[in-house]
Homo-oligomer: A and B are copies of this chain.
Amino acid sequence: MQPKLNPPPHNAVLTVDTVLLTLSEDELKLALFRRETPPFEGQWALPGGFIHDDDDSTKAAAARVLLQKAAVQSPYLEEYGTFSGPARDPRGWSLSVVYYALIAAERLSSHIALFALDALPSLPFDHSAIVSGVVSRVRSKASYSSLPVHLCGESFTIAELHHVYEKVLGTPLNMANFRRKLEDLSILEPIAGAQRAAGRSRPSQLYTLSKRFKNTLSIRERGL
């Protein structure tokens, strides 16, 4: 047993906040929850909570918060950064570690409140700054990685994934080139024999995300 060592006490408020993004009604949307406790009780805010002594890490705390508040288990959960200081929380000096997750709308329980990014309510703490920081990080990563694939469900067609990329990036992408670059990300596995028929046209092959990239990203040197 180690001798008891005493760091100077720091009464920081220690929290995690999570930015949960999904694609709904053909738009990138943010999940918000009404705060159940002061401060800012009753206001819309990012799902967050205190870090507990029995959390294995801040990431584990974020996963727990998402499970408890949103009832989702997001395979992709990544740290964005920390927000800290004496003034951001009325309870005193605070530090929040921010995580973000992208998830298919079909995996979210339908009673979760979703807001379009250009129609967010006013948010407490520095949550507005957090959201805009995360959104620009996500847009940036989307432009050279497999990140947006997490907005698709278990199986999807290339056309669907193409559409998701266009929505996240906000710019049209040539389909032929998109296919070539997807190829070289090598994140997709065709589901043998599974196709999706739409109307009277040729059905398209269904794919699933390769296991290897469920929790991590595939990166391309030169943009998507």
Point out residues on A near B: beta carbons under 8 Å. Answer: 2-3, 5-8, 10-14, 38-39, 50-54, 56-58, 79, 81-82, 84-86, 90-91, 93, 95, 97, 221-223
Contacting residue for A50 out of B10, B11, B57, B58, CB 8 A: B10
7 pairs from A and B in contact (CB 8 Å cutoff):
A10-B14, A10-B53, A51-B95, A54-B86, A56-B85, A82-B82, A221-B223
Interface SS, A side = loop
How many whole Å from A125's CB to the nearest CB in chain B? 13
Q: With A12-B14, A50-B7, A52-B10 known to touch, is A39 a contact of B2 (CB < 8 Å)? A: yes
Asked if A53 and B86 sit within 8 Å, CB to CB, the answer is yes
Q: Cα distance A84–B55 when bound, in Å?
A: 10
For residue A93, which residues in chain B have a CB less than 8 angstroms away from its CB?
A: 53
- Quote the shortest CB–CB distance from A98 to chain B (angstroms): 10
| Cβ-closest chain B residue relative to A9 | B11
- Tell which of B12, B90, B221 touches A51, judged by Cβ atoms closer than 8 Å: B12
